[in-house]
Structure 1
């Protein structure tokens, strides 16, 4: 698919890195754990460059990675979290979209697996259930920085669902990181004339 549908050379992705990214995409599609840190080391790229290349390539060949809440709950032995995670993610989407300018609301996309993985992790943490954070990061095909950014956003907007401290926050007063919804780095590159220093954190 990458050979037929994606010009990796124009995106600055070498053959070795392309092969490694294809392996990660395949692992994600089959829900097989993949060691991204080893992949980054073998690719010879920085973490930020690898994530950018992964996102560009995955979008370029039209592949979307998905995570199912029920499957995660069964895998981690936290079945009782299923309705709580679903409710939390629904509330997060509602509040996030309400904070966006009207022109961006219709295009808001929360299908990225990092949202599901982060919501599941925060619900488990709030209810004092142990889940492997690193394993969730690997399953979602994201980075620790990206996971952390989404986590902060969720706790700020939905502290009543995902927060664990006694401090309460008004979602209307929270400054939203709208870059979390920029899922197409190559589109931003075309608009900005190049990648920004924060590109590796796009979701």
Structure 2
């Protein structure tokens, strides 16, 4: 665990990197120390070694996150230099620590789609991620936060690839701050759910089309088949018409007979 003495070592250097507003430097350092302690609790020594984090780099990362939380700007170039890490490795470590401390940026699929100019993929990406989440929850016991930038971005990327919509994949990976191999693997998994969603929509569409076709055929068949009630009415009409015709003929014959007798 990092000591207060180690934070004091960085304190003088950090004062050259940040201009404090209402918050005092002490308050900022206390927030950084809090993050460092949480990191020691939540991260194993193995995971920290995998990130190549030393004592000083952990302090710098904690201070960087504290400054971000307190809405203070920092000189990223000097921060990276102080950490002793390469820029790319520092950015990856920063994102990993954010995830461990639940400080990661929350961005929706819709917001990402607007940023990357691919709003046409929003609905499909949301449905694919929902399908992925349901599948994961049915198999795994461990809870997973699917609102993180990683899942939101991967779902959007998977939908764009299927719909053949252009997006800056490299920029998205940099924004997420995750290794490309991890991102590509998640995108591949989500692409399977994109296909699953599209296939389910096709089945529903076919069922609806079939129902409409069946209804048309039914109506056509009914119109061609003889209607017993209509036949009965038609026969009754014919009988009435014949009786009236016969009556008129007899009346005309009687009138003609009377006229001849008078003459």
Shift of 1:161: 4.5
Kindly state the Cα deviation for residue 4 of structure 1 after the two structures are TM-superposed: 3.1
1:97 to 124, 132, 137: 137
- Offset of residue 114 of structure 1: 0.8
Which residue matches 2:195? 159
Query: Is 1:113–1:140's contact at 8 Å kept on the other side of the alignment?
Result: yes
The question of whether the paired residues in 2 share the 8 Å contact of 1:96 and 1:157 is answered with no
Structure 1: distance between partners of 2:100 and 2:165: 38
Please tell me whether the aligned partners of residues 92 and 158 of structure 1 are also in contact (alpha carbons under 8 angstroms): no
Deviation for aligned residue 1:146: 1.6
Partner in structure 2 of residue 5 of structure 1: 35
| Deviation of 1:90 (Å) | 0.7
2:121 to 81, 87, 98: 81
* Residue matched to 1:138: 174
Provide the secondary structure at the position in 1 that maps to 2:150.
Answer: helix
* Structure 1 residues 86 and 129, CA gap change in structure 2 (3 angstroms): same
Instruction: Show structure 1 runs of 5+ residues with no match.
Output: 164-203
1:158-202 Cα offsets, whole Å, 9 max, x none, are: 533499xxxxxxxxxxxxxxxxxxxxxxxxxxxxxxxxxxxxxxx
* Shift, 1:130, TM fit: 0.9
> After the TM superposition, which residues 28-39 of structure 1 pair with which residues of structure 2 at under 5 Å, given as runs?
none
RMSD between aligned residues: 4.0
> 2:154 aligns to what?
118
Structure 1 counterpart of 2:226: none
Per-residue CA deviation, residues 85-136 of structure 1 (Å, 9 max, x unaligned), is: 1111111111222232xxx16x233232111111111111111111111111
Higher RCO (Cα < 8 Å, 6 or more apart): 1
Decide which structure has the larger Cα Rg and report it: 2
TM-score by length of 1: 0.56
The superposition leaves residues 17-74 of structure 1 with CA deviations (integer Å, 9 ceiling, x where unpaired) of: 64357658977999xxxx9xxx69x74379789846752x325644132222122111
Partner residue, 1:183: none
Q: How big is the shift at 1:147? A: 0.4
List alignment gaps of at least 5 residues for structure 2: 1-30, 200-263
Whichever structure has more helix as a proportion of its residues is 2
C-alpha separation in 1, matches of 2:54 and 2:84: 10
Aligned length: 150
In 2, are the aligned partners of 1:119 and 1:151 still within 8 Å (CA)? yes
Aligned 8 A contact 1:69 1:82 in 2: yes
Distance in 2 of aligned mates of 1:131 and 1:29: 32
> Could you tell me which of 85, 105, 108 is aligned with 1:68?
108
**SS of the counterpart of 1:6?**
helix
TM-score, normalised by the number of residues in structure 2? 0.45
